[in-house]
Amino acid sequence: MKFALIIPDGCADEPQESLGGRTPLQAARTPHMDAIARRGVVGRADNVPASMPSGSDVATMSLFGYDPLKYHTGRAPLEAAAQGIELGPDDWAIRCNFVTVRNGIMASFTAGQIPGELARRLIGDLQRELGGDGLEFHAGVSYRNLLVCRARSESKLPFTRETRSTPPHDVTDQPIAGQLPAGPGADWLRDLMQKSIPVLAGSPENQARFSRGELSATQIWLWGLGQRPALESFEARFGKRGAMITAVDLLRGIAALLGWKNVDVPGATGYLDTDYAAKGQYAIRALESADFVVVHVEATDEASHEGNAKAKVEALERIDRDIVGPLHAHLEKSGDYRILVSPDHPTFLRTKTHSHGYVPFAMCGAGVAADSATNYDECTASASKLVFDRGCDLMPFFLRS
């Protein structure tokens, strides 16, 4: 039997006045997701424990069947795994975003979607000026980068699980003063963020963006720190060979740690302009050798972070047309299957940030008896009796024999 999971990241939301009192899922034309609902079941799951911050690192780990309260150590170590960066038992990985801060306000958590080539050059500048002595700046994709702190025998790193940091996308259009790192080692993090300001200001190319009226990278933002996690492979846990399709290092890292194959898709950007159709076609190909394929799409989450309801609806319609539809049609022709559609966490357009709470899911296929649902959306899910208070229990239910 073949299995497929499509993740429209952060698509769960609230009713929007601009959408006639409907949520983006209700407003979007999603006939293929609705067909899964009619042929199977709709329910809801809570993927983020109340004691943990809401984000894709926690939520997708839960969605894949791993209790984040047991396995989660931080976001950055997962992204380090995606880049093949080995962490020693006492090393720490830290997310290093390029951001735009103006007059103490977070104007852009992406530094205006900074181009990848410029981002790599700026990471090189940071390594030359601030790196060394156990500090390694690693370029990722656009604004998403990493700082690795290597433990030295003569001195222990100051961080602990009590070190707190705030994702920059949770600070959009807000003052940064109350959102800076806190707890053990926080002074060191804040000092390094401050030291990055003159380094980035010294880049002629970065300053040229500012001169053209574009958003430039004004500093780094350090967050999501953690140490190397220990995850049992997905095949050992569930007996399925997995494949991951995503443009986001976080998801690639989790996939690597679970023993899945990461599938590179040309045109996959992790943004609204991603090649949805290519993701759908590569997912179909991945099932030739994998038992289970995951297609993650970041576009819906990015639209929420920008407060753009229209873009969120359009992204949902593209996911439905170019990914869910072709993939489901292929599965139907290929024998027994199950297909699941579920976001990881809610991301509200109102707040432009991730939220705790239940997300709706729809699944159908072999062994899934249909309920009375006719649509896939938050309202239908809220009326369902199929509820997973621990989101990590959904995957075993989906894969059950």
Q: Say yes or no to pLDDT of 111 above 80.
A: yes
Report the C-alpha gap between 274 and 271 in whole angstroms.
6
Nearest to 96 by CA among 192, 214, 207: 192
Domains of the chain with CATH codes: 2-70+231-399 (3.40.720.10), 92-226 (no CATH)
Q: Of the given ranges (98-102, 167-171, 365-369), which has the lowest mean pLDDT?
A: 167-171
Q: How confident is the model at residue 133 (pLDDT cuts 50, 70, 90)?
A: confident
Tell me the residue length of the chain.
401
Q: Say yes or no to pLDDT of 61 above 80.
A: yes
Q: Which residues pair with 97 in a beta bridge?
A: 144, 221
Q: How confident is the model at residue 361 (pLDDT cuts 50, 70, 90)?
A: very high
Handedness of CA 327, 14, 393, 253 (dihedral sign): positive
Q: Are 147 and 96 in contact (CB under 8 A)?
A: yes
Q: Say yes or no to pLDDT of 254 above 80.
A: yes
Q: What is the pLDDT of residue 155?
A: 66
- Kindly report the pTM of this predicted structure: 0.84
Give the tokens for residue 92: 């720490």
Q: What is the pLDDT of residue 153?
A: 65
Mean pLDDT of the chain: 95
Q: How confident is the model at residue 56 (pLDDT cuts 50, 70, 90)?
A: very high
Q: What is the pLDDT of residue 97?
A: 97
Locus of tokens 């399709």: 245
The listed range with the strongest mean pLDDT (80-94, 153-167, 385-399) is: 385-399
Alpha-carbon 149 to chain mean position: 23
Q: Say yes or no to pLDDT of 154 above 70.
A: no
Three-state DSSP string of 369-380 = CCCCCCCCCHHH
Report the C-alpha gap between 147 and 94 in whole angstroms.
5
Q: Say yes or no to pLDDT of 156 above 80.
A: no
Kindly compute the dihedral angle of the four CA atoms of residues 393, 394, 398, 399, in this order, to the nearest 10 degrees.
-30
The percent of residues above 70 in pLDDT, for the chain, comes to 99
Q: Of the given ranges (76-90, 276-290, 330-344), which has the lowest mean pLDDT?
A: 76-90
Q: What is the DSSP string of 99-116?
A: EEEETTEEEETTTTT--H
Q: What mean pLDDT do residues 233-251 have? A: 96
